[in-house]
A and B are shown apart, each in its own frame.
Chain A
Amino acid sequence: MTLIKTTYNRRSFFRTTALAGGGMMLGFSWLASCRPTPEQVKNMPKEWFNINAFLKIGDNGVVTIMSPNPEIGQNVKTAMPMIVAEELDVNWDDVVVEQAGLDTEKFTRQLAGGSQSIRQGWQSLRMAGATARAMLLAAAAQRLQVPVEELSTDAGVIKHEKSGQTLKYGEVASAAASVEVPEEVALKDPKDFKIIGTSRKNVDGPKIVRGEPLFGLDIYREGMLVAMIEHPPAFGMKLKSVDATEAKAMPGIKDVITIKSYPDGVERQWSDVNAFPELVAVVGNSTWEVMKAKKALKVEWEAAETLESSEDHEAELTRLLQQKPAKPARRDGNPEAAFRRAAQVIERTYSAPFLAHNPMEPMNFFAHVTPEKAELVGPVQTPEFLRKTVAAVLGMDEGQVSIMLTRMGGGFGRRLYGHFGVEAARISQQMQAPVKLVYTREDDMTQGTYRPAYKVMYRAALDGQGKLIGWHVRGAGVHGSPLFHNRFPAGAVDNYLVENHSLNSNISTGAWRAPRSNFIAFAEQSFLDEVAKAAGKDPIDFRLALFHRAIQNPVGKENDYDAKRYAGVLQLVRDKSGWGKEMPGVHRGVSAYFCHNSYVAQVVDVAMKDNQPTIQKVWCAVDCGIVVNPGSALNQIEGGIVDGIGHAMYSGLSFKAGKPDQSNFNTYRLIRHKEAPPEIETFFVDNGIDPTGLGEPSLPPIAAAVANAMAQATGERLYHQPFMVKTLTLEREIRSI
């Protein structure tokens, strides 16, 4: 049991008799029948009592728990309430989950990104549940006239052992709502967890499979107009003139306007990455009418800056890799001397292209701006920052801007950059009407905040015994190097040198699922495989020896990883996969990486099928501390693996004169059913440590595990992504008639 100080502001507690519409929300115990039966509707409370910002309790014991963070498919809408429910000590079947809107007074960090929702919410969510439980106990003690210490709780029921009396949470909810907030509350011992660590299904699952409106694109309001934007066709271009005569005359079209989403002088937040602040917007009654009018626009664009091509990037990154930067990012020992006395030096170069995020739901946002207020609804990972910018752009106070969050059809980092929300607000302001801004897939793909192109060169020095005595890596990338100089193998090699280069560009880039790690894990772990081979060692033993060194006698102090946990996942995947056993026809590759506070190691089995190397199985070991919801954690891990394989094998975005060569899924290749590995088996390290990230860490290592297994199967190493440069041919695509 841990005691923690509560950090609530007394103000956030108030008694309410607000009646929630009966039956509008569904608890997941009611899933079986999918629609509420009259019985279930009757089970909705008549009165709700707000206990704190995270939860309210109904007079019949049903509990509503708010999920504060944006839901992009990482399943926090289930996991976060599970943590509250655990400490509150209720039956999960009595819980209803609601998505909270943006409210910075009540919640901290309402942001989805960096796999941090659970890690950073862990304490406050537990506190919310524990505080509410303490208040219910205090109210019950008063009612029963017994000391609070004599009371215990179980699944929403308060018990007084001595007298045998019981009270349900619902019976004291009203009194609890006015109890003084305790200054200190006790948290459960993890071994007593009943909900955390058990698999609970996605709370929105039934709505998703029934096709209920949940997403931003599904928003519909009476009198709402549909808007689409036309942005410059190439990075480096801007609007010159627009002739909208034809478009405006088309049926259903209200107007064609130009908007400045970021007027000069408006302060931009970090989330306001956007290459095209001036746009043409077509506004009309329905999506198809607007789409057609958009095609009829005659817009002239002009080059305002350099129009960059992928060949330029490639040449520049290559040139940078040949240059020594003025200052290294990290330097331990004497790398130059180590390379001079090495028995063997291995040098390899790796690269990867730009990537688009391509969430299945294209960017969109709803805005209704009046002179008094701005109401925004939609899918964004950074609502707090969007509100700041929208207020600044509209010349309003932040208090006049409200943001409601919808479920998001994927994010992968794209919805961190909320310029589409600003654009929607601008359009609504000018049109003086509620507007839903919709991007076509082409708009979405060709004005991204892309994962930048990277190129990196690794060098390793081995002595006569095959010991790694020197490590040198030089990385270059658009808008920054992909390297993390204090990550492994920092601390495990005496002579160590990391150098960075950055290439400037007018192409907008940003965080893409597991930023930088998504590429550098591939390069580093592929390279280590070759180094281990050159040293004549087994690739797992070779890595374990390095971890051993980092544990026993680390080089330097600032090493950003725990070598024991790192080695732990590697050992776990080795044992579970039966690494080292002779398996006829199976070729294996291994890889391990640490990012977003979690450790992942993977083994990939490849077999030759019709002369093609084919993935048979992925083995995965994960150390992410306590696993809140194992079923959904597995889903995240599997998704990250499929995503990582897909992008390493098939995806890439290239440019000609500032214009993306790919604009839809006929040219931008994503992994499909047939290419997904037939089997993924995951194992968790059980260590009781506070939970860490899950949405990202399984992605980075997988590309190297695949490349290393492919090399075993074919004898050929893969250095450049995507591995398979093939155009999309979908045999037997079910086409519309």
Chain B
Amino acid sequence: MAIFQLVVNGKKQQVDVAPDTPLLWVLRDHLQLPGTKYGCGIAQCGACTVHLDGTAVRACSLPVSNVGDKKVTTIEGLSKNGDHPLQQAWIEHDVPQCGYCQAGQIMNAAALLNKNSKPTDEEIAEAMNGNICRCGTYLRIKAAIKTAASKLG
């Protein structure tokens, strides 16, 4: 066990866990932030996507010891009132079916828009390809990202 100081959603946090504990389980089990989901544990599905200094990473495959002083943002902290343009667009397009993958989809899309505020359809598909939606909501996800991008721009 070891002590780690983290900044999660703008808040300083301290956890005492094994250094190889993936950030995903630190968030879910130790910081009571269950919005970040477990889907595969091997960086294949994107359900666990969070931001490290604004860049999308797969929290299931990131040991807490590698986080360092980078700022962690989870779905719970993406926006103050749950009203990030992507969150609004997701509701506008009524994207979710079961909803389980959607936090990861939104976080991945937010990182995409951080880097590229006007992505083309191809760029969206490319950037989102690591996020599986078993319910098949891909078309609506794409539409919602475009709506959010147009509002951001």
Residues in chain A within 8 A of chain B (CB atoms): 31, 33-35, 72-75, 199, 201-202, 204-206, 208-215, 217-218, 220, 226, 251, 286-289, 292, 358-362, 407-412, 440-441, 631-632, 635-636, 638-643, 646, 664-666, 670-674, 676-680, 728, 730, 732-737
Which residues of A have CB within 8 Å of B30?
Answer: 286
B99/A639 in contact, CB under 8 A? no
Please report the C-alpha to C-alpha distance between residue A75 and residue B75 in the assembled complex, in whole angstroms: 22
B37/A220 in contact, CB under 8 A? no
A639/B108 in contact, CB under 8 A? no
User: Is B72's CB within 8 Å of the partner chain A?
Assistant: no
The residue from B32, B40, B43, B127 contacting A735, defined by CB atoms under 8 A apart: B43
B136/A407 in contact, CB under 8 A? no
Which residues of B have CB within 8 Å of A679?
Answer: 139
Which residues of A have CB within 8 Å of B96?
Answer: 73, 202, 204-205, 208-209
A733/B28 in contact, CB under 8 A? no
Please report the C-alpha to C-alpha distance between residue A237 and residue B152 in the assembled complex, in whole angstroms: 56
A209/B102 in contact, CB under 8 A? yes
B100/A361 in contact, CB under 8 A? yes
A201/B94 in contact, CB under 8 A? yes
Q: A286-B30, A673-B138 are in contact. Are A733 and B75 (CB under 8 A)?
A: no
Return 28 A-B CB contacts under 8 Å, by A number: A72-B98, A73-B98, A209-B106, A211-B33, A215-B37, A251-B18, A286-B29, A358-B134, A359-B98, A361-B37, A361-B100, A407-B99, A441-B42, A635-B137, A638-B136, A642-B136, A642-B137, A642-B139, A643-B134, A666-B44, A672-B132, A673-B124, A673-B138, A674-B125, A733-B44, A734-B57, A736-B43, A737-B57
A209/B56 in contact, CB under 8 A? no
User: Is B128's CB within 8 Å of the partner chain A?
Assistant: yes
Please report the C-alpha to C-alpha distance between residue A378 and residue B106 in the assembled complex, in whole angstroms: 25
The residue from A409, A636, A646 contacting B99, defined by CB atoms under 8 A apart: A409
B126 CB to nearest chain A CB (Å): 7
B22 CB to nearest chain A CB (Å): 7
Interface residues of B, CB < 8 Å — how many?
78
A651 CB to nearest chain B CB (Å): 11
Which residues of B have CB within 8 Å of A730?
Answer: 44, 129-130
A640/B44 in contact, CB under 8 A? no
Q: A34-B82, A209-B91, A360-B134 are in contact. Are A410 and B43 (CB under 8 A)?
A: no
Please report the C-alpha to C-alpha distance between residue A641 and residue B97 in the assembled complex, in whole angstroms: 14
A409/B87 in contact, CB under 8 A? no
The listed residue with most B CB atoms (<10 A of its CB), out of A641, A664, A677, A736, is A736
User: Is B34's CB within 8 Å of the partner chain A?
Assistant: yes
The residue from A31, A251, A632, A665 contacting B42, defined by CB atoms under 8 A apart: A665
User: Is B52's CB within 8 Å of the partner chain A?
Assistant: yes
A211/B130 in contact, CB under 8 A? no
Please report the C-alpha to C-alpha distance between residue A636 and residue B95 in the assembled complex, in whole angstroms: 11
B140 CB to nearest chain A CB (Å): 7
B140/A635 in contact, CB under 8 A? yes
Please report the C-alpha to C-alpha distance between residue A155 and residue B35 in the assembled complex, in whole angstroms: 36
Q: A642-B136, A673-B128, A680-B139 are in contact. Are A664 and B44 (CB under 8 A)?
A: yes
User: Is B45's CB within 8 Å of the partner chain A?
Assistant: yes
Please report the C-alpha to C-alpha distance between residue A250 and residue B49 in the assembled complex, in whole angstroms: 29
- Nearest A residue to B30 via CB reads A286
Please report the C-alpha to C-alpha distance between residue A640 and residue B121 in the assembled complex, in whole angstroms: 22
Q: A208-B102, A210-B75, A441-B40 are in contact. Are A35 and B82 (CB under 8 A)?
A: yes
Please report the C-alpha to C-alpha distance between residue A368 and residue B68 in the assembled complex, in whole angstroms: 38
A288/B22 in contact, CB under 8 A? yes
B38/A362 in contact, CB under 8 A? yes
The listed residue with most B CB atoms (<10 A of its CB), out of A640, A671, A676, A677, is A676
The residue from B35, B62, B108 contacting A211, defined by CB atoms under 8 A apart: B35
Please report the C-alpha to C-alpha distance between residue A636 and residue B137 in the assembled complex, in whole angstroms: 9
A332 CB to nearest chain B CB (Å): 38
A638/B94 in contact, CB under 8 A? no
Please report the C-alpha to C-alpha distance between residue A643 and residue B124 in the assembled complex, in whole angstroms: 20
User: Is B149's CB within 8 Å of the partner chain A?
Assistant: no
The residue from B29, B47, B49 contacting A360, defined by CB atoms under 8 A apart: B47
Which residues of B have CB within 8 Å of A411?
Answer: 98
Please report the C-alpha to C-alpha distance between residue A407 and residue B60 in the assembled complex, in whole angstroms: 22
B83-122, CB < 8 A from A: 83, 86-87, 90-91, 94-103, 106, 108, 121
Given A635-B137, A736-B61, 13 more A-B residue pairs with CB atoms under 8 Å apart are A33-B81, A73-B96, A74-B97, A199-B94, A205-B99, A209-B96, A211-B34, A211-B36, A211-B103, A217-B37, A360-B100, A642-B139, A737-B52
Which residues of B have CB within 8 Å of A409?
Answer: 37, 98-101
A347 CB to nearest chain B CB (Å): 34
- Nearest B residue to A674 via CB reads B125
Please report the C-alpha to C-alpha distance between residue A640 and residue B97 in the assembled complex, in whole angstroms: 11
A200 CB to nearest chain B CB (Å): 9
Q: A288-B25, A673-B124, A674-B129 are in contact. Are A736 and B62 (CB under 8 A)?
A: yes
Q: A407-B99, A673-B138 are in contact. Are A206 and B94 (CB under 8 A)?
A: no
User: Is B17's CB within 8 Å of the partner chain A?
Assistant: yes
Q: A215-B100, A220-B32 are in contact. Are A209 and B87 (CB under 8 A)?
A: yes
Please report the C-alpha to C-alpha distance between residue A408 and residue B87 in the assembled complex, in whole angstroms: 20
A667 CB to nearest chain B CB (Å): 9
Which residues of B have CB within 8 Å of A734?
Answer: 46, 49, 56-58, 108, 127, 130
B52/A635 in contact, CB under 8 A? no
Please report the C-alpha to C-alpha distance between residue A631 and residue B97 in the assembled complex, in whole angstroms: 12
Which residues of B have CB within 8 Å of A251?
Answer: 1, 18
Please report the C-alpha to C-alpha distance between residue A312 and residue B127 in the assembled complex, in whole angstroms: 41
- Nearest A residue to B49 via CB reads A734
User: Is B6's CB within 8 Å of the partner chain A?
Assistant: no
Q: A202-B96, A220-B32, A360-B134 are in contact. Are A211 and B21 (CB under 8 A)?
A: no
Which residues of A have CB within 8 Å of B62?
Answer: 736-737
Minimum-distance CB pairs A-B, first 7: A211-B35, A642-B136, A73-B98, A409-B100, A211-B75, A208-B99, A676-B138
Which residues of A have CB within 8 Å of B130?
Answer: 672, 730, 733-734
User: Is B54's CB within 8 Å of the partner chain A?
Assistant: no
B136/A671 in contact, CB under 8 A? yes
A614 CB to nearest chain B CB (Å): 12
Which residues of A have CB within 8 Å of B3?
Answer: none
Please report the C-alpha to C-alpha distance between residue A690 and residue B96 in the assembled complex, in whole angstroms: 26
B97/A210 in contact, CB under 8 A? no
A678/B136 in contact, CB under 8 A? no
Q: A34-B83, A673-B131, A737-B62 are in contact. Are A636 and B43 (CB under 8 A)?
A: no
Please report the C-alpha to C-alpha distance between residue A564 and residue B16 in the assembled complex, in whole angstroms: 67
B91/A201 in contact, CB under 8 A? yes
Which residues of A have CB within 8 Å of B74?
Answer: 211
Which residues of B have CB within 8 Å of A674?
Answer: 125-126, 129
Please report the C-alpha to C-alpha distance between residue A679 and residue B139 in the assembled complex, in whole angstroms: 7
Please report the C-alpha to C-alpha distance between residue A67 and residue B39 in the assembled complex, in whole angstroms: 27
